[in-house]
Chains A and B, each alone.
Chain A
Amino acid sequence: MLKTFPKGGVHPPENKISAAAGIDVLPLPEQVTIPISQHLGAPAEPAVAKGDTVKAGQIIATSKGFVSANIHSSVSGKVFKVDKAVDASGYKKMSVIIKVEGDEWLDTIDTGNEHKKDITLNSEEIIRKCAENGIVGMGGATFPSHVKLSIPPGKHCDVLIINGVECEPYLTSDHRLMLERTGELVTGISILMKALKVERAMIGIENNKTDAIERLREFTSGIDGISVHALKVKYPQGGEKQLIKALIKREVPSGGLPVDVGTVVHNVGTAYAVYEAVQLNKPLVERVVTVTGKELEKPVNVLARIGTPVSNLIEFAGGLPDNTAKIVNGGPMMGKALANLSVPVTKGTSGLIVFREEEARRKETGPCIRCGKCITACAMGLEPYLLMSLTEKGMHERSEKEKIMDCMECGSCSYICPANRPLLDYIRLGKATVGKMIKERKQK
């Protein structure tokens, strides 16, 4: 029996079209737009001005506060302007726009391809390196990694969990990374273990990536403490809490963090970025992005510089097909639809999915028939139908009691609803309102 999480979950069609496409390096764009807020927490503060010359890897915005991250230039060139530009959220955010000239990196960065295995730094130094190099969670939530690695006093962590689940349909960037950068990835995991001072690391991979499981088993066979686990394919297994439950059977308490149950979860992409940051002193300036879609000429996985316009990636994959009706930044379950193709790739961009007309639009909404499928699908044990109607009626106190804040917005309820009700749309609205209420209460 393969391991999985016990409660809820759905199984959307996997559609991993680009699984066999190796990671290609995307040609440099003419201009990059680097938002100063690509992470959860406080936006960074711009450290360059119009006309400055920058090198790849140079800090262009410094983190403000603990929960924040440095932003580095992903290219060399001249700062064209520091101004508001539309990002994936659809709204204009402060960004640094750089005209690309050549490809010159800072001297301190090792740009060679050699795999450096020896870990010389100690825990504090590793965490500092992650902070300096702007490492954030690459799974999509973009939470600054140095914060996650600093175990708060009084808490303890005994096992590191590496998230190679990639439960979102379509996406294959983590899959390819596990196959093509296996050695570096394993070193990255060892670094994370050292930073957290843990003896044990578990890599969870869904069983639709048997090649990645085998390859990682091969690479970790001689290493004490790292184990690879095949998991049953089920969405949302890549959710931290679900993965922890699946692998070590611990349940993160409502409102709590993984560290409350003695573990920390990092994505494989993050582990690789940590390897680069610590061993090569290379900041997070590029990432693997899956560009895929059923009608796309050449679905690819590309290594793109942060700030590259989305249109460049789509062009690289053969351009937009005629019947394109929607483009999603991220996975189909949790990603954001884009209204504009000039938006940049950011640290959290795991994929771009091009949807055809027939897939793009929602079906007509019907009345709730109380089938209870949303309850069955909810991995957090909530009642989505109830949370939606409470939000519609403005009964936010009640929905707080019904644990609306536990919702992780995985979208399983909206996915499964036979009446096509916009459950998650309303739950998100309810969460925002309840969140505001809680904040106000705390201030009082």
Chain B
Amino acid sequence: MSSVVLITIISLSLLGIIAALILYFVAQKFKVYEDPRIDQVEEALPGANCGGCGFAGCRNFAEAIVKSDTFDGLNCPVGGGETMAKIAEILDRKVPEVEPRVAVVRCNGTPEHRKKTSEYNGALNCTIANSLYTGESDCPYGCLGLGECVDACDFNAMYMDSETGLPVIIDDNCVACGACVKACPRNIIELRKKARKDRKIYVSCVNEDKGGPARKACKVACIGCGKCEKVCNYDAITISNNLAFIDSDKCVFCRKCVPVCPTGAILELNFPPRKTAKKEQEEKVKA
């Protein structure tokens, strides 16, 4: 009896040793040198593999950032400054300055603003609808409302508002990875600089048609009249292709452009109710 136990123990141990030896030599033979910092950087990244940095996944981003000497064009929008600081520490480099951004949907074509002129009855996919025709309204630029951006969002930061038929962004969840920007076939979503208290001023329209047809398609379309451009003291507003654009890097949130817009295409969000002109002046000085 004892001999059976002994033989079992010995033979199994021998087997184990032989296997270990083989594994050791194979591992030695096929060893590939890898910068250990790649693992460290990957560890520091959020690990969402969202592709917001432009790479296929966090590992690829880590490889690229270790290989490169600078942080030029390399940023993890999800992790933000904190993560980048950690990476800088690992790589012994200077921390890059990156401003947090947030996605904004530049279309306000709710059913009451934008008349429905047909009924779409195809695959529920914006790109397919976009290649087919203008969509359920006459606006060839506006949101198609089929939610491809929402599907693309990995951070639960978007949902479709069933009443307006437009996507809504939850600012707190948005990490500005840009997945929705890429998903939208009509280029409606933009990443804008994140402001204090999630305040936003932007032209909620991307219609490049002339005033007449744009207005006909949607009541709150930007008609490219240029009134906002004139009133802006900070060169933040430019007009091209019959469309105004407010540069979020230059805008100081003075809100002067909002009331002059004849169609109400410029939206101001998360602001307190308007104060008197004098107080507004003070606000501007502070800003």
> B-contacting residues of A (Cβ < 8 Å)?
89-92, 336-337, 339-340, 360-362, 422, 425-426, 428-429, 432
Contacts and interface: CB of A to CB of B under 8 A. Distances in A.
A428 B128 CA distance: 8
A362 B132 CA distance: 16
Interface string B119-132: 00111010110011
B133 A89 contact: yes
Contact of A429 (B117, B118, B131, B213): B131
B265 to A, nearest CB: 20
A92 B210 CA distance: 12
Task: State the main secondary structure of chain B at its contact with A.
Answer: loop
A432 B140 contact: no
Interface of B: 117-118, 121-123, 125, 127-128, 131-134, 140, 209, 213
Contacts of B133: 89-91, 336-337, 339
Given A337-B133, A428-B131, A429-B128, 11 more contacts: A89-B133, A90-B132, A339-B117, A340-B118, A422-B122, A422-B123, A422-B128, A425-B122, A425-B128, A428-B128, A429-B127
B123 A425 contact: yes
Q: Which 4 A-B pairs have the closest CB atoms?
A: A90-B133, A422-B123, A425-B123, A339-B118
A119 B181 CA distance: 59
Contacts of A92: 140, 209, 213
A336 B128 CA distance: 13
A339 B209 CA distance: 19
Contacts of B118: 339-340
B199 to A, nearest CB: 36
A140 to B, nearest CB: 17
Nearest to A392: B125
B121 A429 contact: no
Given A339-B118, A361-B121, A425-B122, A91 B134 contact: yes
7 contacts: A336-B132, A336-B133, A337-B133, A339-B133, A422-B123, A425-B128, A426-B123
Contact of A360 (B121, B128, B131, B209): B121
Contacts of B140: 90-92
A340 B117 CA distance: 8
B150 to A, nearest CB: 16
B154 to A, nearest CB: 14
B124 to A, nearest CB: 9
A380 B71 CA distance: 49
